[in-house]
Amino acid sequence: MQSHIYDAIVIGAGGMGSATAYHLAKSGADVLVLEQFQRGHTFGSSHGETRIIRFFYDKSFYTELMKTAYSEWCDLESVSGKQLLFITGSVNLGESGNPYMISVRQSLDAAGVESEWWDAKQLTERFSQFRVSNDMDILWQKDTGFLYASECVLTHLQLAEQHGAKIREETHVNHIDWEMDVPTVYAGDSEFYGRKVVVTTGAWTDILLPEIDFPLKVTRQQVCYYQNAAPLFQPEQFPVFTEIRKDGEFLYGIPYFGKNGLKVARHGKGKRVFPDRCNREPDADYVDRIDVYVQERIPGLGKSTHAEVCLYTETPDEDFIIDAHPNCPDLLIAAGFSGHGFKFCSLVGRIMCELALTGETEFDISPFRIKR
Ligand SMILES: Cc1cc2nc3c(=O)[nH]c(=O)nc-3n(C[C@H](O)[C@H](O)[C@H](O)COP(=O)(O)OP(=O)(O)OC[C@H]3O[C@@H](n4cnc5c(N)ncnc54)[C@H](O)[C@@H]3O)c2cc1C
């Protein structure tokens, strides 16, 4: 008997997989999603309540792509009737003359996205929570905000199901046989067939596809939370902020939201780990380091109350991987989101859907080839 052949099988139901499933199912495709844990789990990269969404990038192709990513998130809000996107504006701090800040401004200007240089006085008049020195570069960008991340993943999955997608949780994919006429996905004792297979397995990607020499490195990351619920730290009165320090260290913060509170963290610099053997207990010295920074920059915030561990899947240039398997055009891969991918989920879902259903996309994904 001929087994059922899905139009597309999506492996991994995190940020990217959930969005891909939604776009595919909305387009009328017969979709199966396979996720090794339960939806909304906390072992990958998309858990927690907040992720920054921003236009500002030092590479202008990201700023251009964000135009569609923003509009896709707005569409998701209107279709679901949920608020998922919270615009607060952002204060972006850097040592004076920092080349990163100058490139960011250039890519915003080139894309026609407004931003303003502020001095320390302008900053503290608008946001008295910050303490900065007079010689810092301060860039204000009004469209920055944050996404209600965990809810975005669940919403994409719920809507995908409403459009007919089947989602199998606690289904670990062991192997994909892409040499068959129809790519075959093996999970435990089961086999599934898909005309296209989309791999969105985050930190587990090179384990699932060992035949590809991916330039991927999985690292352990930590974030600190501050449960100071004063109005001054709520999204209506406190912006997203980022800071690039002299030594290249990049810190960021997101206003008070949800059960965890206000988040402050350092981007990157985590130790390399195996995703299934990662210590989930935050390090005391990391928390102390962030507390010292907060004491200097936002003295009224107080000390962190708790911290959390999450995984990055990094490429050497921090650019994504969006490409077909080198030996099988029916197997598509979206991985290596390098700690800045969540804001793009809405767009990556659409791109993966276009690639799966038509073999092409209107978006420029040339920076994201596996071999570059
Ligand atoms: C601390 C932290 C802060 C961040 N902050 C931001 C931010 O402010 N803004 C931003 O834009 N981005 C941010 N990011 C990055 C962003 O969250 C990630 O780029 C994004 O979530 C990656 O999504 P993903 O779908 O690739 O991975 P995941 O969400 O991890 O999804 C992969 C899924 O695949 C499943 N899977 C893996 N292997 C298998 C298998 N063999 N069989 C079945 N299922 C499998 C996993 O269980 C998982 O559910 C942050 C990341 C972290 C960790």
Domain boundary assignment for the chain: 5-46+150-214+318-368, 79-142+217-314
| The predicted structure's pLDDT at residue 269 | 86
Give the active site residue among 152, 224, 278, 310.
310
Chain CA centroid to CA 248, Å? 21
Closest to 101 in 3D by CA, of 240, 238, 246, 223 = 246
pLDDT tens digits for range 250-299:
999 999 999 999 999 999 889 999 999 999 999 999 999 999 999 999 99
pLDDT of 210 over the 50 cut: yes
Number of Cβ within a 10 Å radius of residue 339: 19
Rounded mean pLDDT of 318-338?
A: 97
| The predicted structure's pLDDT at residue 186 | 98
Q: How confident is the model at residue 245 (pLDDT cuts 50, 70, 90)?
A: very high
341 Cα nearest atom in ligand 1: 19
- Cβ atoms of residues 10 and 198 within 8 Å: yes
Q: Could you tell me the distance, in angstroms and rounded to a whole number, from the CA of residue 97 to the centre of ligand 1?
A: 33
Q: How confident is the model at residue 247 (pLDDT cuts 50, 70, 90)?
A: confident
| The predicted structure's pLDDT at residue 227 | 98
Give residues with Cβ within 8 angstroms of 130, minimum separation 6: 91, 123, 124, 241, 297, 298
153 Cα nearest atom in ligand 1: 29
Q: How confident is the model at residue 1 (pLDDT cuts 50, 70, 90)?
A: very low
Rounded mean pLDDT of 182-202?
A: 97
Q: Could you tell me the distance, in angstroms and rounded to a whole number, from the CA of residue 222 to the centre of ligand 1?
A: 14
Phi, psi of 331 (to 5 degrees): -110, 115
pLDDT of 152 over the 90 cut: yes
Q: Let me know if the fold of 5-46+150-214+318-368 is the same as that of 79-142+217-314.
A: no
Whether 50 is catalytic is yes
Whether 325 is catalytic is no
Q: Which fold has domain 5-46+150-214+318-368?
A: FAD/NAD(P)-binding domain (3.50.50)
Q: What distance in Å separates the CA atoms of residue 148 and residue 73, rounded to the nearest whole number? A: 11
Pocket lining for ligand 1, CB < 6 angstroms? 11-17, 34-37, 44-46, 51-52, 172-173, 200-204, 208, 221, 223, 310-312, 337, 339-343
Q: In testing the pocket of ligand 1, which one of 42, 43, 46 has its CB within 8 Å of the most ligand atoms?
A: 46
The rounded percent of the chain whose pLDDT value lies above 70 is: 99
- Domain at 79-142+217-314: CATH code: 3.30.9.10
pTM here? Answer: 0.98
Whether 343 is catalytic is yes
pLDDT tens digits for range 17-68:
999 999 999 999 999 999 999 999 999 999 999 999 999 999 999 999 999 9
- Cβ atoms of residues 198 and 20 within 8 Å: yes
For all residues of the chain together, what is the average pLDDT?
97
Give the active site residue among 26, 105, 220, 267.
267
| The predicted structure's pLDDT at residue 97 | 85
pLDDT of 10 over the 80 cut: yes
Whether 259 is catalytic is no
Region for residue 235 given its phi and psi (left: phi exceeds 0; alpha: psi -120 to 50; beta: otherwise): alpha
Q: How confident is the model at residue 2 (pLDDT cuts 50, 70, 90)?
A: low
